[in-house]
Amino acid sequence: MKSSGLLISRINTVEQKLNTTFVGLNIGMNLNPLPAYYKILSLPVPIIKREGKVKVDIVGNINESIDIWAEKIYISTVKEGDFIALLNSGGYAESCSSKHSLRTNYNTILI
């Protein structure tokens, strides 16, 4: 069950700071704390595959420095408003989630 699920998020920020491109999501570590606390990667995969690859840090929307989904990874080029899937976000991530700083409701679909 741990690897069976995924989170789908909208990209709300693509921003270059110094030598790093940050991709900001509209979800944070409250929905899956495994990357923040245990460094268990939830592999980010853009829903729309565009030409080109870019090296990015993917970060969440919680105002805490550990709210990082992935660092220094290569993904296809993304734009603000695109969707991204975070793989490996299954049952264990769901059981660890919290309402901490929750900004919107979300749906859990179990099949």
Is residue 58 situated within a structural domain? yes
**The overall pTM is greater than 0.85:** no
Cα–Cα distance list, 77 to 21, 27, 50, 91 (Å): 11, 20, 6, 29
Is residue 110 situated within a structural domain? no
Is residue 12 situated within a structural domain? yes
Indicate the range of 1-10, 15-24, 25-34, 79-88 predicted with least confidence: 1-10
Q: Specify the pLDDT at position 105.
A: 61
Q: Tell me, what CATH number does 17's domain have? A: 2.40.37.10
Query: Cα separation of 111 and 45, whole Å?
Result: 22
- Range of the structural domain that residue 54 is part of: 6-96
Is residue 108 situated within a structural domain? no
Say how many domains are in the chain. 1
**pLDDT tens digit sequence for 74-92:** 999 999 999 999 988 766 6
Residue 95 has pLDDT above 70, yes or no: no
Is residue 66 situated within a structural domain? yes
